[in-house]
Structures are given as structure tokens and as C-alpha cells.
Structure 1
Amino acid sequence: MMTAFYVSFLITALLIELTPGPNMAWLALTSASKGRKSGFAAVAGIALGLALLGGASVFGLSQLAINSPIIFSFLRYAGVAYLLWLAWSTWTGDDKGRDSFADHCGLVDWFRHGVLLNLLNPKAAIFFVAVLPAYIDPQDSVASQTVFLSLTYVGIATAIHLIIVLLAGSAHNWLARGNRQFFIRRIFAVMIALIAIWFLRSTA
């Protein structure tokens, strides 16, 4: 793969990831409300979800999803429904205990949310179908290039997401003081619902 071509891909991927989107907003809210550990777990889930989409693109599954209006719509509405379910669970749920088992379960939950939100995000699949192939040399191994560029993109996305978690997580201690948690949880729920609407509009 030509170095200049690869540098161009790096710049493109960086600009795409720096553009505000549902992932970025959701991670910031999660880290500020639940803390950096939950944010890091969510980042790991998002990374796995993106990696799975990249793997699917190698076998043409992402292309199938984009070319089929039925599959695309299913992913779109399933993603919105999942976000709305998260909003409702946050609105009605009680805070978990501070013991290590509860903390562990919470981290697993946020990891799972990150995976599912990206697997159900057709906008993420579009990157692997519409953007990534433009940087593949047909004279070389397409599969190996797809895997390499996909891992590069996941690495860039993960680095940016980690920065978001570190910055937003710094507000967690202040938000968790006193009786703020109840109100913060309600605000958090409303904002997740707004992200769901944003997600619906951005994937139209």
C-alpha cells in the first residue's frame, strides 16, 4: 500500500471520527454520569463492534446491509429502539451498589451496550462500504488491505473515544455528590433519548 495513500486514509478517518456523532455524545454522557471505568468499558465495546463491522466488510456483509433497504431499515430502527430502551432503563433504574460484583456487572453492561450500538449502526457500516474501499489497491490483496485499514480505523476511533472518556469523566465526582445522582440520571435518560432522535435523523 502506498505511503501517501495510507496517510490520506489516516487523515480521512481522523476527520470522520472528529465529527460529532451519536457515539461521541453517548460516550461523553456515560463517562460524566457513570465514571471513567464505565466509559472505558463502553469504548472497548465500541471498538469490538467496529472491528466486527470491519470483519463483516471483508466477506461483503456490510455491502449487503447497505444495498438492502429492508436490512438497512431494520438496523436503523433497531439501533433507535435500543437507545430508547437504554433511556427508559436509565430513567426508571436504581443505582447499583458499590460492591465489586455490582461494579463488574455494570462494566459488562456498558461493554455490551457499546458493541450492540455499533453493530446496529448502519452509519458505521457505510464507512466500510463507501469510504474504505476507495483506499484499496485492486492490484494487491483486497482482503488483507481491508483488514489492515479496518484495524487502523478502529485504532483511530478508539484513541479519540478514550480522550473523550478522560475529559468527560473528570466531571463524574462532582456530579455524584449529594443528591445530584437522581437528577443527573433523569437528565442522562432524556439526553440518551435525544441521541436516539439524532441517530434516526443522521441515518435517514
Structure 2
Amino acid sequence: MFGLPVEALAGFALTSVIIELTPGPNMAYLAVVAATRGRRLGYAAVAGVALGLAIVGLATALGLAAVISASPVMYQILRWGGVIYLLWLAWDGWRDADGEMEAAPDGADMARFFRRGLVTNLLNPKAAVFYIAVLPGFVVPDGRVVEQTLLLSLIYVLAATVIHAAIVTLAGAARTLLLDERRSRIIRRALSVALALIALWFAWKTRG
């Protein structure tokens, strides 16, 4: 399709799955949301993450991500913006640990977690780096490059979304452990600390 052989598409899909199975900010955040706030809000965050990946993929096709990747200043702005945002989410989870668990989130809650998932991913420079460092290796130079890039981006978004949804589904099963108020407070705060540690790990891994 668009000059891409089937083996290239299959190889890229496998690469995308392997990369997305590697622990990172998105995986940690989605697990925390599903375990503490429920699957519905977790799936809303997954949708936000998917849109963020799609936007970065479109930017790659238009050449914008290359500019970001080549600009140390822009990279650092995105990097630290993502770290600070993850730390804020960790603090927000810690602060809300004493609150009651919502049984039925409303539309406003769904929209809020959708936006959080979107922002979390847009502030993740690793997404842009993936599109710049990995995706071009599967593009056929003499083919329709823009169309190929968009197609590969779609494959990556689909693979990531399936994996993220699975994480939310599995983490949501742990929600039954949070029915006890005292246990809920302990687990929610522990998950908030874990998210803060992931933010610091993210800062370390993306320092180059």
C-alpha cells in the first residue's frame, strides 16, 4: 500500500507493539487512572493519548517533528513540560486520596481525563523521537513518502491504543481492592508516588 511491501508493514507493526510494551509515562498514568478512578475514565484517557499520538504522527508527515527533534531548546521545553505535568498529576492523585471513589463519572470527568491523556502525550518528546528515529526506516524513499508516513503513523496509533486499552482493562480489575477506605487511601497514594517516580525516571531517560 502506497509503495510499502507487506513485510515492511508487518515489521513496523511488530516494532510498534514491542516499543509500546516497554514501561513508560503513558502506561504508568493509564494504570493509575484505571486502578483509582475506574475503567471508563481510563478509556477516556486512552482516547486522549491516541489523539496525541495521531497529532504527532501528522506533524511528522508535515516535517514539524523533525524541527522539534533538531532543536535542543524545543526538545527540552517539551521534556520538562512533560515531567512537570506528570508530577502535577501525581500530586493531584495524592491530594485526592482521601476523597470518595466516583461510581459513575459524568461527561465533565470524561472530558477532563481525555484532555489529561492528550496533554500527557503531547508533552512527551519520546513520541516525536520515535517518529523521527524509527518510522523513517520503514519508508520506501522512491514511494509516496507522506502517504506512507501517515499509514505507518496510523498503524502505530492503533497498536498503542490496543495495548493502552488492555492496560486499563487489567488495572481496572484492581479497583475492587480499593473498596475499603483505608486500603484505598494507601494504594492510591502509593500509586501517586509511583507516578512521581516514573516522572523522575522519564526526566533521566530523556536527558540526552
Q: Which TM bucket (shorter chain)?
A: over 0.9
**Given residue 21 of structure 1, which amino acid in structure 2 is its aligned partner?**
G
CA contact (8 A) 2:37 2:101 kept: no
How far apart in 2 are the matches of 1:176 and 1:60?
A: 48
What SS does structure 1 have at the residue aligned with 2:23? coil
- The residue number in structure 2 matching 1:159 is 162
- The residue number in structure 2 matching 1:95 is 99
- The residue number in structure 1 matching 2:149 is 146
**Given residue 133 of structure 1, which amino acid in structure 2 is its aligned partner?**
P
Aligned CA-pair RMSD: 1.7
- The residue number in structure 2 matching 1:29 is 32
How far apart in 1 are the matches of 2:192 and 2:17?
A: 29
* Structure 1: runs of 5+ lacking an equivalent: none
CA contact (8 A) 1:40 1:162 kept: yes
Residue deviations 1:21-79, cap 9 Å, x none?
22112211211111111110111011000000001101111111111000000000000
Matched, 1:127 2:124: no
- The residue number in structure 2 matching 1:53 is 56
- The residue number in structure 2 matching 1:83 is 86
1:4-15 alignment runs, 5 A limit = 4-15=7-18
- Aligned residues: percent identity? 47
How far apart in 2 are the matches of 1:88 and 1:187?
A: 11
How far apart in 2 are the matches of 1:113 and 1:41?
A: 9
**Given residue 140 of structure 1, which amino acid in structure 2 is its aligned partner?**
G
Matched, 1:17 2:20: yes
- Equivalent pairs, count: 203
How far apart in 2 are the matches of 1:104 and 1:195?
A: 29
TM-score, normalised by the number of residues in structure 1: 0.93
How far apart in 2 are the matches of 1:8 and 1:88?
A: 39
How far apart in 2 are the matches of 1:98 and 1:28?
A: 17
Q: CA deviation at 1:176?
A: 2.9
Q: CA deviation at 1:178?
A: 3.3
How far apart in 2 are the matches of 1:96 and 1:182?
A: 10
CA contact (8 A) 2:12 2:138 kept: yes
Residue deviations 1:134-160, cap 9 Å, x none?
111121111111111000100000011
**Given residue 35 of structure 1, which amino acid in structure 2 is its aligned partner?**
G
How far apart in 1 are the matches of 2:128 and 2:113?
A: 21
* Structure 2: runs of 5+ lacking an equivalent: none
TM-score, normalised by the number of residues in structure 2: 0.91
- The residue number in structure 2 matching 1:44 is 47
CA change 1:72–1:9 in 2 (3 A) is: same
CA change 1:2–1:30 in 2 (3 A) is: same
CA contact (8 A) 1:22 1:198 kept: no
- The residue number in structure 1 matching 2:195 is 192
What SS does structure 1 have at the residue aligned with 2:106? helix
How far apart in 1 are the matches of 2:103 and 2:203?
A: 37
Greater shift after overlay, 179-188 or 1-10? 179-188
How far apart in 1 are the matches of 2:31 and 2:95?
A: 21
CA contact (8 A) 1:97 1:103 kept: no
How far apart in 1 are the matches of 2:179 and 2:108?
A: 19
